[in-house]
C-alpha cells in the first residue's frame, strides 16, 4: 500500500494556521469536508472521537509529527490528510516538542488490516529524517504531493 493510495491529494495543507491541538484537528478535518472526502454532518463526531483518542494518549509521537487517527462506520474508504505547520502545534507530544507535520487517517471500522497497513506506511516514512525534514519544508500542496510520490517510489533514503 502506497501513501497516495489513501492520502487525499486535495487535502494537503502546507500552511496550517492552528497552533493548538484541537484547532489543528478541526482545521485538517475542515479540509477533508471541503474536498467532499468526509460528509459535513460527520465532522463534529469525528473531531470528538479524535480528541477523545488524543486525551487517552497523544498521537504526537515526537520528532515534530503527529498521526491522529480514527475508525468510523460511516467512513467507506480509507482517507488521510496532511497538514504542515510553519509555527508548530502544541500537540502534547511525547517529547513535549511542537508538532510541525500532521497525518490524519480516517478508516472504515471494518477494515482493521488496511488501517494497520496505512499506519505502518505513515510511520515508516515519518521515521526517516529526510522525509520529515522535506515535509516540514514544504511550502505548497504540490511539494507535499511530490514528496509523498517520492516516498511511494522509494526514492528517499532513511
Using one digit for the tens of pLDDT, what is the confidence trace for 39-69? 999 999 999 999 999 999 999 989 999 999 9
Using one digit for the tens of pLDDT, what is the confidence trace for 84-105? 999 999 999 999 999 999 999 9
β-pair type (99-108, 79-89): antiparallel
Look at residue 155 and tell me whether its pLDDT is greater than 60. Answer: no
Question: For the chain, which domains are there?
Answer: 3-152 (3.40.930.10)
Mean pLDDT of the chain: 94
β-pair type (60-62, 79-89): unpaired
Question: If phi over 0 gives left and psi between -120 and 50 gives alpha, with beta otherwise, what is residue 92?
Answer: left
Please state the pTM of the whole predicted model: 0.93
Helix H or strand E segment including 55: helix 43-56
Q: Kindly give the interhelix angle for 43-56 and 21-34, rounded to the nearest 10 degrees.
A: 150
Under 8 Å between Cβ of 135 and 122: no
Quick one: pLDDT at residue 156? 53
Using one digit for the tens of pLDDT, what is the confidence trace for 99-139? 999 999 999 999 999 999 999 999 999 999 999 999 999 99
Under 8 Å between Cβ of 81 and 107: no
Look at residue 157 and tell me whether its pLDDT is greater than 60. Answer: no
Amino acid at each position: 500500500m502506497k501513501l497516495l493510495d489513501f492520502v487525499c491529494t486535495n487535502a494537503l495543507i502546507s500552511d496550517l494556521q492552528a497552533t493548538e491541538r484541537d484547532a489543528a484537528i478541526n482545521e485538517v478535518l475542515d479540509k477533508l469536508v471541503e474536498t467532499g472526502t468526509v460528509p459535513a454532518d460527520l465532522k463534529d463526531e469525528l473531531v470528538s472521537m479524535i480528541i477523545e483518542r488524543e486525551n487517552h494518549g497523544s498521537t504526537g509521537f515526537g520528532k515534530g509529527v503527529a498521526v491522529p487517527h480514527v475508525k468510523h462506520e460511516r467512513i467507506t474508504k480509507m482517507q488521510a490528510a496532511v497538514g504542515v505547520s510553519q509555527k508548530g502545534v502544541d500537540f502534547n507530544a511525547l517529547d513535549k516538542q511542537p508538532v510541525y507535520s500532521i497525518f490524519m487517517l480516517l478508516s472504515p471500522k471494518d477494515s482493521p488490516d488496511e488501517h494497520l497497513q496505512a499506519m505502518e506506511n505513515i510511520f515508516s516514512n515519518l521515521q526517516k529524517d529526510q522525509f520529515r525534514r522535506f515535509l516540514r519544508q514544504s511550502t505548497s500542496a504540490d511539494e507535499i504531493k511530490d514528496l509523498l510520490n517520492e516516498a511511494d517510489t522509494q526514492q528517499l533514503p532513511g
